[in-house]
């Protein structure tokens, strides 16, 4: 019952007027950002993070989490109305959402997406509440060796499960880690990698600079390249009767919602997986287990429900390792982590002991965020239809201006704005050559922790590298990392053998 | 596509070598009693980048790479012009700001972006161009007390400072 009283205390914090206000603003902003094709939660968090200095740290984090949630709801809107996923996490929603809209059931599809998101979000927050405390307590026993092994595990999930080219993924991880070492050496305090002796590099390259460059400038360039011709918006009008009707129809999909939520939550916890694969897996499972699989792809309501529950559940799932272990489960949570560190709230097991009020305030605000999101989502549907007609240059102009001023605001160095513009253009060019960006951002956020834990572990073991494999928890994590790292090679060998067999 | 792949890999390898040249300024080996030196982490990571870059180059030489690239273009030709214009205007705005200040460069950037790149109507452009500096001023300078770079326009803001601070 401990959890209930902690949660009750948390609600006291999240129901403060300022926090309610930022929650509503965050959810609304997130809904719009999620609904805009080309912008997702990670872009929203990257671009708006510098603006959150206006409120105290705990409210800022609530705002960003609300934005994250809202974006998960909003992604479905353009998937259904435009047939273009509003964010990559909503790709699977287009499969049946678009056909439903074309059949004239856009309203039902939107209601289904909103309700499914709500169910997925709520079930996963309950799971989150149950798992957070025990996981944080277990993580208290972690020393530097375990921390290092855990960070390594986070990176190897990208290699093993990421699905991108292995060499390119490794390259981006190494680049992110190398960039994170710019500035002052944490242990000796000596300056290093001060390129061209420019003073701006003494304070290092903030994760935020790379994130705004990659997800702000880079994203705008990528969208300019991809969008040709104007997509057609399907209109949708929703009355109270449609709503009641929709909810009744959805009652029969409880089973799909249930497993979508649980699956999403656990897949979301893995750093490389996250909401997009979770929603695709849930869609696949829903089709396999359906009595009418032939309806999928032609506008089956379950085809909207499954991915939408899963992607919302995954977004909560990815918050769990971020908050309890300090290892983010997705690029967006990596940015949240970086933001929290900036505000002096170091995520990890100690946070639960030192700042219980903040932690539980945040968890309780996730419950509230879900309620707010579903209501705002349904209420603002006409506004979304209008906003989706907004020409992209207006949006991209606003985003670029925000990149400039938002990049300058945190540290007031014009040097950072140069880096944003430069990284943004380079990131776009790399992205077009199939280099994944998520491992880069994650590596930059986790780099300092990884280096510190490696060096501390080695110092305390007097240079004995076996310390990582002789401690039981560290050894287990290392073994999983090794397996994940080797997975793509094993897969390749199996494929080669299979390919060779028919030739014999 | 193939050319772009090779260029990207070579670029990253050059970057790795560049990092290494800086990392060796600090000890990169084991320091008795103090663990790995300050340059070790960046140095060996860059070595890793160099090796990974070489692996990517080797992959490009394999026949499988050609099959994968078939029918793919690196960047759509029609979009290149627009991408260059957007990137160049962004860089120009960033370069000119320390001299002219954000309250001149941002409206100009918005104007250029909406008119030349976006071909929007003036009824859309005007409020955006006028609104941007006003929102930036009240949000950052008045509320957050963050002073934006103003360059030569600094004297113009003295009366505003007097009014709001």
Name the residue facing A393 among B59, B76, B118 (closest C-beta): B118
Rounded Cα gap, residues B94 and A90, in angstroms: 34
Two tokens, residue A288? 């396999």
What is the pLDDT, as a whole number, of residue A12? Answer: 85
Name the residue facing A405 among B53, B119, B136 (closest C-beta): B136
Whether the predicted interface score ipTM is above 0.95: no
- Give tens-digit pLDDT for A437-461: 888 988 888 888 888 888 888 888 8
Domain contains A94: yes
Confidence check: pLDDT of B56 > 50: yes
**Interface contact B13, partner A, CB < 8 A:** no
**Interface contact A177, partner B, CB < 8 A:** yes
Two tokens, residue B98? 């320390």
Say which residue, A71 or A84, is predicted with more confidence.
Answer: A71
What is the pLDDT, as a whole number, of residue A414? Answer: 92
Confidence check: pLDDT of A94 > 90: no
Rounded Cα gap, residues A296 and A283, in angstroms: 9
- Is the distance from CB of A70 to CB of A103 less than 8 angstroms? no
Closest CA to A213 of A383, A81, A460, A406: A406
**Smallest Cα distance from A36 to chain B, Å:** 17
Query: How many residues can be counted in chain A?
Result: 504
**Smallest Cα distance from B157 to chain A, Å:** 18
Q: For chain A, give percent helix, strand, coil, nearest 5.
A: 80, 0, 20
Two tokens, residue B106? 């941002």
Q: What is the largest CA-CA distance in chain A?
A: 73
- Is the distance from CB of A13 to CB of A58 less than 8 angstroms? yes
Rg of chain B taking only CA atoms, in angstroms? 24
CB count in 10 Å sphere of residue A488: 19
Confidence of residue A239 (pLDDT cuts 50, 70, 90): low
- The enclosing H or E element of B34 equals none
Domain contains A478: yes
Confidence check: pLDDT of A310 > 60: yes
Confidence check: pLDDT of A39 > 60: yes
Q: Domain of A449?
A: 2-497
- Is the distance from CB of A334 to CB of A112 less than 8 angstroms? no
Q: Is B127 helix (H, G, I), strand (E, B) or coil?
A: helix
Closest CA to A384 of A77, A63, A52: A77
Q: What is the DSSP string of A115-148?
A: HHHHHHHHHHHHHHHHHHHHHHHHHTT--HHHHH
Please state the rounded mean pLDDT for residues A246-251: 80
Domain contains A103: yes
**Interface contact A197, partner B, CB < 8 A:** no
Half-sphere exposure of B69 (CA within 13 A, CB side): 20
Say which residue, A35 or B32, is predicted with more confidence.
Answer: A35
The DSSP output letter for A159 is H
Number of domains in chain A: 1
Q: Is B36 helix (H, G, I), strand (E, B) or coil?
A: strand
Domain contains A503: no
Confidence of residue A231 (pLDDT cuts 50, 70, 90): low
Say which residue, A349 or A497, is predicted with more confidence.
Answer: A349
What is the pLDDT, as a whole number, of residue A500? Answer: 65
Say which residue, A253 or A70, is predicted with more confidence.
Answer: A70
Confidence check: pLDDT of A504 > 50: no
Name the residue facing B114 among A394, A433, A459 (closest C-beta): A394
Name the residue facing A193 among B42, B91, B144 (closest C-beta): B42
Confidence check: pLDDT of A502 > 70: no
Please state the rounded mean pLDDT for residues B39-61: 90
Beta bridge partners of A184: A191
What is the pLDDT, as a whole number, of residue A68? Answer: 92
Q: Do A53 and B144 touch (CB under 8 A)?
A: yes
Say which residue, A228 or A71, is predicted with more confidence.
Answer: A71
Say which residue, A129 or A487, is predicted with more confidence.
Answer: A129
- Is the distance from CB of A264 to CB of A309 less than 8 angstroms? yes
Confidence of residue A237 (pLDDT cuts 50, 70, 90): low
Half-sphere exposure of A148 (CA within 13 A, CB side): 18
Mean pLDDT over all residues of chain B?
87
Alpha helices by DSSP H, A191-274 = 207-212, 218-226, 240-251, 254-269
> How far is Cα of residue A435 from the mean position of the Cα atoms in its chain?
18
**Interface contact B100, partner A, CB < 8 A:** no
Rounded Cα gap, residues A317 and A328, in angstroms: 10
Q: Is A104 helix (H, G, I), strand (E, B) or coil?
A: coil
- The enclosing H or E element of B5 equals helix B2-23
Share of chain A above pLDDT 70, in %: 95
When mean pLDDT is compared across A119-123, A185-189, A261-265, A407-411, the lowest value belongs to A185-189
Q: Is B31 helix (H, G, I), strand (E, B) or coil?
A: strand
Two tokens, residue B124? 């859309």
- Is the distance from CB of A43 to CB of A33 less than 8 angstroms? yes
Domain contains A504: no
Confidence of residue A233 (pLDDT cuts 50, 70, 90): low
Q: Classify residue A502 by burial, with Cβ atoms within 10 Å: 0-12, 13-18, 19+.
A: exposed
Name the residue facing B120 among A178, A394, A463 (closest C-beta): A394
For β-strands A191-192 and A183-184, DSSP reports them as: antiparallel
Confidence check: pLDDT of A428 > 60: yes
- Give tens-digit pLDDT for A275-300: 888 888 888 888 888 888 888 888 88
**Interface contact A421, partner B, CB < 8 A:** yes
- Is the distance from CB of A42 to CB of A397 less than 8 angstroms? no
Confidence check: pLDDT of A230 > 70: no
Residues of A in contact with B113 (CB under 8 A): 393, 396-397, 400
Positive or negative torsion for Cα B158, B159, B161, B165: positive
What is the pLDDT, as a whole number, of residue B107? Answer: 94
**Interface contact B120, partner A, CB < 8 A:** yes
- Is the distance from CB of A211 to CB of A43 less than 8 angstroms? no
Mean pLDDT over all residues of chain A?
85
- Is the distance from CB of A424 to CB of A218 less than 8 angstroms? yes
Please state the rounded mean pLDDT for residues A69-76: 88
**Interface contact B22, partner A, CB < 8 A:** yes
Rounded Cα gap, residues B7 and B10, in angstroms: 5
* Helix and strand element counts for chain A (H, E): 23, 2
Rounded Cα gap, residues A141 and A290, in angstroms: 44
What is the pLDDT, as a whole number, of residue B72? Answer: 76
- Give tens-digit pLDDT for B88-100: 999 999 999 999 9
Q: Which residue of B has its CA nearest to A55?
A: B144
Q: Which of A213, A401, A423, A465 would best serve as a mutation to test chain B binding (most B beta carbons within 10 A)?
A: A401
């Amino acid at each position: 019952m401990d959890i209930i009283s902690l949660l009750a205390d948390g609600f006291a914090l999240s129901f403060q007027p300022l926090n309610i206000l930022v929650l509503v603003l965050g959810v609304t902003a997130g809904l719009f950002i999620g609904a805009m094709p080309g912008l997702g939660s990670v872009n929203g968090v990257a671009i708006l993070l510098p603006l959150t200095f206006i409120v105290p740290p705990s409210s800022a984090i609530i705002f960003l989490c609300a934005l994250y949630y809202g974006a998960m709801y909003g992604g479905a809107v353009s998937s259904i109305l435009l047939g273009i996923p509003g964010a990559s996490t909503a790709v699977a929603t287009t499969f049946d959402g678009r056909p439903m809209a074309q059949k004239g059931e856009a309203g039902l599809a939107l209601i289904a997406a909103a309700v499914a998101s709500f169910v997925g979000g709520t079930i996963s927050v309950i799971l989150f509440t149950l798992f957070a405390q025990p996981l944080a307590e277990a993580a208290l026993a972690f020393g530097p060796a375990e921390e290092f092994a855990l960070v390594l595990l986070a990176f190897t999930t990208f290699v093993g499960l990421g699905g991108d080219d292995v060499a390119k993924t490794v390259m981006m991880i190494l680049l992110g880690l190398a960039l994170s070492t710019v500035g002052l050496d944490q242990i000796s305090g000596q300056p290093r990698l001060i390129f061209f002796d420019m003073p701006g590099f003494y304070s290092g390259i903030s994760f935020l600079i790379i994130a705004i460059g990659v997800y702000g400038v880079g994203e705008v360039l990528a969208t300019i390249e991809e969008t040709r011709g104007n997509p057609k918006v399907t209109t949708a009008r929703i009355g109270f009767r449609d709503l009641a009707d929709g909810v009744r129809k959805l009652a029969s999909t409880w089973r799909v919602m249930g497993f979508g939520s649980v699956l999403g939550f656990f897949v979301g916890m893995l750093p490389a997986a996250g909401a997009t694969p979770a929603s695709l897996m849930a869609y696949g499972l829903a089709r396999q287990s359906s009595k009418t699989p032939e309806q999928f792809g032609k506008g089956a309501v379950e085809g909207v429900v499954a991915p939408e529950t899963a992607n919302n559940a995954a977004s909560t799932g990815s918050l769990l390792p971020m908050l309890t272990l300090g290892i983010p489960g997705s690029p967006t949570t990596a940015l949240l982590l970086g933001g929290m560190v900036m505000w002096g709230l170091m995520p990890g097991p100690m946070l639960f002991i030192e700042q219980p009020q903040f932690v539980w305030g945040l968890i309780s605000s996730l419950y509230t965020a879900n309620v707010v999101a579903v209501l705002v989502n349904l209420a603002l549907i006409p506004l979304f239809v209008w906003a989706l007609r907004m020409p992209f240059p207006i949006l991209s102009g606003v985003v670029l201006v925000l990149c400039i001023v938002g990049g300058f605001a945190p540290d007031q160095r014009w040097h950072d704005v140069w880096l944003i513009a430069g990284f943004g253009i380079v990131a776009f060019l790399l992205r077009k050559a199939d280099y994944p960006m998520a491992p880069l951002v994650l590596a930059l956020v986790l780099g300092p922790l990884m280096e510190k834990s490696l060096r501390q572990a080695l110092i305390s073991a007097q240079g004995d590298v076996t310390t990582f494999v002789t401690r039981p928890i560290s050894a287990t994590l290392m073994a999983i990392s090794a397996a994940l790292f080797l997975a793509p090679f094993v897969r390749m060998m199996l494929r080669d053998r299979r390919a060779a067999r028919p030739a014999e | 596509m193939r050319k772009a792949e090779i260029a990207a890999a070579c670029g990253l390898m050059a970057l790795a070598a560049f990092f290494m040249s800086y990392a060796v300024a600090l000890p990169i080996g084991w320091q008795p009693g103090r663990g790995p030196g300050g340059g070790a982490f960046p140095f060996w990571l860059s070595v890793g980048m160099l090796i990974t870059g070489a692996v990517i180059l080797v992959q490009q030489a394999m026949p499988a790479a050609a099959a994968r690239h078939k029918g793919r273009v690196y960047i759509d030709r029609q979009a290149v012009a627009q991408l260059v214009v957007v990137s160049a205007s962004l860089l120009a705005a960033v370069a000119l700001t320390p001299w002219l200040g954000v309250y001149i460069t941002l409206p100009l950037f918005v104007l250029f972006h909406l008119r030349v790149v976006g071909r929007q109507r003036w009824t859309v452009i005007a409020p955006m161009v006028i609104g941007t500096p006003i929102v930036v001023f009240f949000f950052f300078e008045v509320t957050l007390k963050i002073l934006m770079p103003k360059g030569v326009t600094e004297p113009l803001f003295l009366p505003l400072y007097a009014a709001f601070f």
